[in-house]
Amino acid sequence: GQQVQQSPASLVLQEGENAELQCNFSSTATRLQWFYQHPGGRLVSLFYNPSGTKHTGRLTSTTVTNERRGSLHISSSQTTDSGTYFCAIGYRGSALGRLHFGAGTQLIVIP
């Protein structure tokens, strides 16, 4: 089956440090989406990025589809960045709207 592997599983940063989250997937993906889950559970879409590089504020998403990998870069981390980051992959032939989620990276930013 389709696999989505995220690394690291968890990460502790000092405020101001940068973070690089990785996402590797097993088959040719038609779409990649990054989500941030608040500690309370709400899931927020950060990027929809099937290929290339996108920026929003301190966040950068890079997807290299033919190498089956994506990354999320967080620069100058803040305590409010703490939470869980999920990479989710859509594959050709999957059920409509079906995203295969990775296990997530739990980020803790300490002041």
Which residues here bind another protein, judged by CB under 8 A? 30-31, 33, 35, 41-45, 48, 86, 88, 90, 95-99, 101-104
Nearer to another protein, 10 or 76 (CB): 10
For the bound state, the minimum distance from the C-beta of residue 67 to another protein, rounded and expressed in Å, comes to 21
Side-chain-facing half-sphere of 24: CA atoms under 13 Å: 5
Nearer to another protein, 60 or 75 (CB): 60
Strands (E), the chain: 4-7, 10-14, 19-25, 29-37, 43-48, 52-56, 59-64, 69-74, 83-91, 100-101, 105-110
CA–CA dist 1, 21 (Å, integer): 23
For the bound state, the minimum distance from the C-beta of residue 13 to another protein, rounded and expressed in Å, comes to 21
Nearer to another protein, 80 or 95 (CB): 95
For the bound state, the minimum distance from the C-beta of residue 80 to another protein, rounded and expressed in Å, comes to 18
